[in-house]
A and B are shown apart, each in its own frame.
Chain A
Amino acid sequence: MLKKRIIPCLDIKDGRVVKGVNFVELRDAGDPVESAKEYNDLGADELVFLDITATKEKRKTLAELVEKVAAQVFIPLTVGGGIRTVEDMQFILRAGADKVSVNSAAVKNPELVRKGALKFGSQCIVGAVDAAKRESGAGWEIFIHGGSKETGIDLIEWVKELEELGAGEILLTSINSDGTKDGFDLEMLKAVTAAVNIPVIASGGAGSIQHFVDVFKETGADAALAASIFHFGEIAIRDVKTELEAEKIPVRIEERK
């Protein structure tokens, strides 16, 4: 049986790991290569690197960073932030990433997802989506530019379109939950996992071990992502997995001989 994945997310700025709380306030939490090695040792199932200041000039810096990490850490690596073209995707994949995530660029140019999936395979393309509840209370809409710009586009319609375009996975961040540490947005996740047949990574709101139990018990999420609670040692990945296993949720824990 496939295991539910626990994924630390490392926000990258100028080659360092930072985490935006509510997307605004930033704190420095270390060196990316060292962090990646540490997370591998602690039992992370996969890593996500998000370049939050990605510009064309800095793309090379990011690729160099990916290359360094990929030479030392042998678990799947997803890289996102500022990927706007198929050439950008190729550049990052060649550097050693296994998957690239696209967010704003996919909203502005959905063909990017289709072209990327055709060229590299769906398993390489992650559709990252930031969404928030509509003020009217009727469903959710997606936001771009790091959660700062409203689009009016319906979340459920958009994730279905991403699947149709060939995305292999959805990385769903709830803007309402992100940074609150009050738990994942279970309602939003239930709706999205019911709407698509591709894996969904839950993001935003993890604050306790119980939140991970809740997200896997109550929604169809395949993976759960968190950043600050792992970076600052508030919660250990091992403890999360031990508790999930006790709750009969399949996770990757190696039984030593």
Chain B
Amino acid sequence: MIAIIDYGAGNLNSIQKALEFVGEETVILEEGEQEDIDKYSGLVLPGVGAFPGAMKRLQEDNFIEFIEKFVAAGKPFLGVCLGMQLLFEWGFEDQKTAGLGLLKGNITKMETEYKIPHMGWNQLQIIKNDPLFKGLPENPHFYFVHSYQLTEVTDQVLATVGYGSTVPAVVRQDNVIGFQFHPEKSGDNGIKLLENFRELL
């Protein structure tokens, strides 16, 4: 069973429906419901909104320690969109805010000649192969909606996307995984990716 963290980040319906579509049982975790981590085989941190408010809610709702324990136990932890950005050390959206610090790097405003937000379908460049990409087409399309990004292509970046500059799109360090795009809105490729994530459980 995968637990989806509800910290007021809006619509959790889509990611939940997509995980159920690939055959996974899901539960929405709210404040006060963080029970024994043994109950869940995977954890998902979705995210719509802004970095500072999201970190504040995670703290207030006592999710930080829960996440740290989960990750320390070696279980797969997936951050989606803003949820991926929160995995890093510092966010610079509106103000400098400490992130979860599970991965090295910072989140800064996208620098591009194109329109911001980066919204729509774009194609991945896979730079490091990974079981997550099994069965996907070459340069698969995914659906993006974001204005901030991981600043640098660090060692943990598995795939990038081009948008006037090179934007990290998939990160992974062992059991900590992040997607900058929305797999739950990326049609067949998104479903395939979630199936592959499920294989890790």
Residues of A bordering B, CB below 8 Å: 1-3, 5, 40, 45, 67, 70-72, 74-76, 93-96, 98, 120-123, 168-169, 197-199, 222-223, 252, 254-257
Q: Verify B49–A121 contact, CB threshold 8 A.
A: yes
Quick one: closest A residue to B122, CB to CB?
A2
Interface hits, B31-77 → A, CB 8 Å: 48-49
Q: Verify B120–A254 contact, CB threshold 8 A.
A: no
Given A2-B163, A5-B120, A76-B143, A70 and B115 touching (CB < 8 A)?
no
Asked if B6 lies at the interface with its beta carbon under 8 angstroms from chain A, I say no
Give Cα A168–Cα B14 distance, bound, in whole angstroms. Answer: 20
Give Cα A36–Cα B154 distance, bound, in whole angstroms. Answer: 39
Q: Which of the residues A70, A75, A93, A223 comes within 8 Å of B187, measured between beta carbons?
A: A75
Residues from chain B with a CB closer than 8 A to the CB of A223 are 120
Counting contact residues on chain B (CB < 8 A from A), the size range is: 35 or more
Q: Verify A222–B120 contact, CB threshold 8 A.
A: yes
Residues from chain B with a CB closer than 8 A to the CB of A222 are 120
Q: Which of the residues A72, A197, A199, A252 comes within 8 Å of B141, measured between beta carbons?
A: A252
Residues from chain B with a CB closer than 8 A to the CB of A122 are 117
Give Cα A95–Cα B140 distance, bound, in whole angstroms. Answer: 28
Task: Pick the most buried of B17, B136, B187: most chain A CB atoms within 10 A of its CB.
Answer: B187
Quick one: closest B residue to A121, CB to CB?
B48
Quick one: closest A residue to B162, CB to CB?
A1
A sample of 8 inter-chain contacts (CB < 8 A) reads A2-B114, A74-B21, A75-B185, A96-B17, A120-B10, A123-B119, A199-B120, A257-B138
Residues of B bordering A, CB below 8 Å: 10-11, 13-14, 17-18, 20-21, 48-49, 114-115, 117-123, 135-141, 143, 145, 162-163, 184-191
Given A74-B185, A255-B139, A2 and B120 touching (CB < 8 A)?
yes
Q: Which of the residues B13, B135, B145, B190 comes within 8 Å of A123, measured between beta carbons?
A: B145
Residues from chain B with a CB closer than 8 A to the CB of A70 are 13-14, 17
Given A40-B187, A96-B14, A199-B115, A75 and B137 touching (CB < 8 A)?
no
Q: Which of the residues B49, B135, B163, B190 comes within 8 Å of A74, measured between beta carbons?
A: B190
Q: Verify B11–A76 contact, CB threshold 8 A.
A: no
Further pairs besides A74-B185, A255-B137, A255-B139: 15, Cβ < 8 Å: A40-B188, A67-B13, A71-B21, A74-B17, A74-B186, A94-B13, A96-B11, A98-B11, A120-B10, A121-B49, A168-B119, A254-B141, A256-B137, A257-B136, A257-B138
Give Cα A197–Cα B112 distance, bound, in whole angstroms. Answer: 14
Quick one: closest A residue to B12, CB to CB?
A94
Give Cα A199–Cα B190 distance, bound, in whole angstroms. Answer: 23
Give Cα A160–Cα B60 distance, bound, in whole angstroms. Answer: 39
Quick one: closest A residue to B114, CB to CB?
A2
Measured CB to CB, the closest approach of chain A to B147, in angstroms, equals 9
Residues from chain B with a CB closer than 8 A to the CB of A74 are 14, 17-18, 21, 184-187, 190-191
Given A1-B162, A256-B137, A198 and B115 touching (CB < 8 A)?
yes
Give Cα A256–Cα B143 distance, bound, in whole angstroms. Answer: 18
Give Cα A134–Cα B55 distance, bound, in whole angstroms. Answer: 51
Measured CB to CB, the closest approach of chain A to B98, in angstroms, equals 23
